[in-house]
Amino acid sequence: MSFVTSSYMNLPIPTVGSEAGPQYAFDINSSLTLIDSHDHSPGRGVQITPAGININSALQFNNNPALNLSYESFTAGSSATPVLQAISVAPASSINELFYTDSNGTQTQITKNGNVNAVASSIPGESYNAGTFIWTQTQSSAPTTPANFNIGSITLSPNTAATTNGVVLGPPTGISRQFNINLPFQPSLNPAFVTIDTSGNMASTVSTAGGITGSNIGNQTITGANIANQTITATQVANSTLTNTQMIDAVYGGQQGITPAKLDSYNTPYFATSSSSGAVSYSSTSFTPVTNMTVTLPNATATRPRFICFTSTTAGGFIFNPGVGLVTATFRIVGSNGANSATIYQVELDVSGSGNRFPPGILNTIDMFGVGPGNVPWITYRLDVSVLASQAVAVENILMNVVQL
């Protein structure tokens, strides 16, 4: 053969000493023409490898994509590349971070410390500054107005690294409507109670220094069930604030819940009294209870002394029947606690003559300890009377009174 075809561009290469002219000249011209138009595409020359390329200025892609890239490798500059609409890398701390520069020259950091930078989020109105996320409304009329959120429960955690603790704020269970809760202002001077009205407005205007006053307590809403036994002492009661309407017992009047038992626990004296004896004559030689002369204590307390006294509803008293010679009558006061009884005081009256009258105060006495066997206090006191045979004494309109001191 007078020529051979090249492997990459199909050039007709004349065989030296074999191909005669003018064909030799034609083949040379054809080869030179193909060489002049070659572009290293397939069939137009050997394709160029990266080792054969030296890019020493900006490389234009003429709006064509770069296809089938495995990855892009960036070289960090002193700052983000100032070219508009570019992705670049710039040093930030110890990690080279990825930036995007828009057509206005505004640079946005895409990565931060190995993570996607939160500022690059797509949430409208979001920004970040000094550890705080900020959301504002996106309307052009309110670009700096804080935005509202409609979310579920919120967990508030302390600014402590790797903490798993927090306070969960959430709506009431079974909520069936929407309502507002507006937080109060912080008290400016003293700690305050927090109140809330029916519109959800919270306030802190009632100082704790003043305590809970009568205006905060409904009438007759605090009962004995709300007060622990013996927890209210004199220091909790303002001077001269308890009147008869707040107390019970014959001494204090009213039916407002303070019983003799409660008064007794603070060593407050109280008394009980009997009905009138009427006008009755007694002639038995055995001790006989005088009509109505029995007094029961509502709250007898051991070791509390009691003053037992007798008064008259009229000018009467004890009248010894007319007769000749000596008339003798014996009166006694008996204490009883149900299981036991004993004579507390006894007096014998000897009178000569007729129509003699003795005042009831002659029977007055003090029971110093007020207790029976087993240190059980006397519950009742009773007046008995006896006379000698064939004698009599009349008891007229007296009262028996017992005062526990």
- Whether 353 has a pLDDT exceeding 80, the answer reads no
- Whether 284 has a pLDDT exceeding 90, the answer reads yes
DSSP letters, 13-66, are EEPTTTSPTTHHHHHHHHHHHHHHT--SSTTSSPPPPGGG----SPPP-TT---
Domain stops at, among 264, 279, 310: 264
Q: Is residue 238, in this structure, part of any structural domain at all?
A: yes
Question: Sorting pLDDT into bands at 50, 70 and 90, what band is 251?
Answer: very low
295 and 274 in contact (C-beta within 8 Å)? yes
Question: Sorting pLDDT into bands at 50, 70 and 90, what band is 245?
Answer: low
Task: Give me the mean pLDDT over the 249-274 stretch.
Answer: 55
Q: What is the pLDDT of residues 303-340, one digit of tens each?
A: 778 899 999 988 788 887 756 567 889 999 999 988 88
- Whether 136 has a pLDDT exceeding 90, the answer reads no
- Whether 142 has a pLDDT exceeding 60, the answer reads yes
User: What is the per-residue pLDDT for 230?
Assistant: 73
Backbone φ, ψ for residue 136 (5° rounding) = -125, 165
- Whether 80 has a pLDDT exceeding 70, the answer reads no
- Whether 19 has a pLDDT exceeding 80, the answer reads no
- Does residue 276 share a domain with residue 387? yes
Question: Sorting pLDDT into bands at 50, 70 and 90, what band is 24?
Answer: confident
Question: How far from chain centre, in Å, is Cα 241?
Answer: 32
Count how many Cα atoms sit within 13 Å of the Cα of residue 315 in the half-sphere of its side chain: 0
User: What is the per-residue pLDDT for 122?
Assistant: 61
- Does residue 398 share a domain with residue 274? yes
Residues forming beta bridges with residue 336, ordered by sequence position = 341, 380
How many helices (H) does the chain have, and how many strands (E)?
2, 25
Task: Give me the mean pLDDT over the 209-226 stretch.
Answer: 78
**Higher per-residue confidence, 277 vs 266:** 277
For residue 165, give both structure tokens. 């603790």
Q: What is the pLDDT of residues 224-238, one digit of tens each?
A: 788 887 777 777 777
User: Which of 15, 3, 11 is closest to 46 using CA atoms?
Assistant: 11
Q: Is residue 188, in this structure, part of any structural domain at all?
A: no
- Does residue 278 share a domain with residue 400? yes
Question: Sorting pLDDT into bands at 50, 70 and 90, what band is 171?
Answer: very high
User: Which of 249, 295, 307 is closest to 400 using CA atoms?
Assistant: 295
Task: Give me the mean pLDDT over the 14-27 stretch.
Answer: 80
- Does residue 284 share a domain with residue 331? yes
Task: Give me the mean pLDDT over the 89-100 stretch.
Answer: 77
For residue 266, give both structure tokens. 């603070």
Task: Give me the mean pLDDT over the 24-48 stretch.
Answer: 82
Q: Which amino acid does the sequence have at 331? A: F
Q: Is residue 56, in this structure, part of any structural domain at all?
A: no
- Does residue 396 share a domain with residue 337? yes
- Does residue 99 share a domain with residue 17? no
Give me the number of domains the chain comprises: 4
- Does residue 396 share a domain with residue 277? yes
- Does residue 399 share a domain with residue 317? yes
- Does residue 310 share a domain with residue 289? yes
DSSP letters, 142-186, are -TTSBPP---S-EEE--S-TT----EEE-PPTT--S----BPPPP
Q: Is residue 293, in this structure, part of any structural domain at all?
A: yes
Task: Give me the mean pLDDT over the 48-56 stretch.
Answer: 86
- Does residue 307 share a domain with residue 367? yes
Which range is least confidently modeled, 120-134, 271-285, 322-336?
Answer: 120-134
The domain of 23 spans 3-36
List, in order, residues 6 or more apart from 248 with CB less than 8 Å away.
254, 255, 256, 257, 258, 259, 260
User: Which of 15, 11, 13 is closest to 2 using CA atoms?
Assistant: 15
User: What is the per-residue pLDDT for 290?
Assistant: 95
Burial of 318 per CB tally in 10 Å (0-12, 13-18, 19+)? buried
- Whether 28 has a pLDDT exceeding 80, the answer reads yes
Task: Give me the mean pLDDT over the 202-229 stretch.
Answer: 81
300 and 370 in contact (C-beta within 8 Å)? yes
- Does residue 399 share a domain with residue 281? yes
Q: Is residue 170, in this structure, part of any structural domain at all?
A: no
- Does residue 323 share a domain with residue 301? yes
Percent of the chain's residues with pLDDT above 90: 23
Greatest mean pLDDT among 122-136, 196-210, 266-280 lies in 196-210
Which range is least confidently modeled, 102-111, 118-127, 207-216, 315-324?
Answer: 118-127
Question: Sorting pLDDT into bands at 50, 70 and 90, what band is 240?
Answer: low
Q: Is residue 68, in this structure, part of any structural domain at all?
A: no
Which range is least confidently modeled, 120-134, 269-283, 360-374?
Answer: 120-134
Which range is least confidently modeled, 262-266, 291-295, 304-308?
Answer: 262-266
Q: Is residue 285, in this structure, part of any structural domain at all?
A: yes
Q: Is residue 199, in this structure, part of any structural domain at all?
A: no
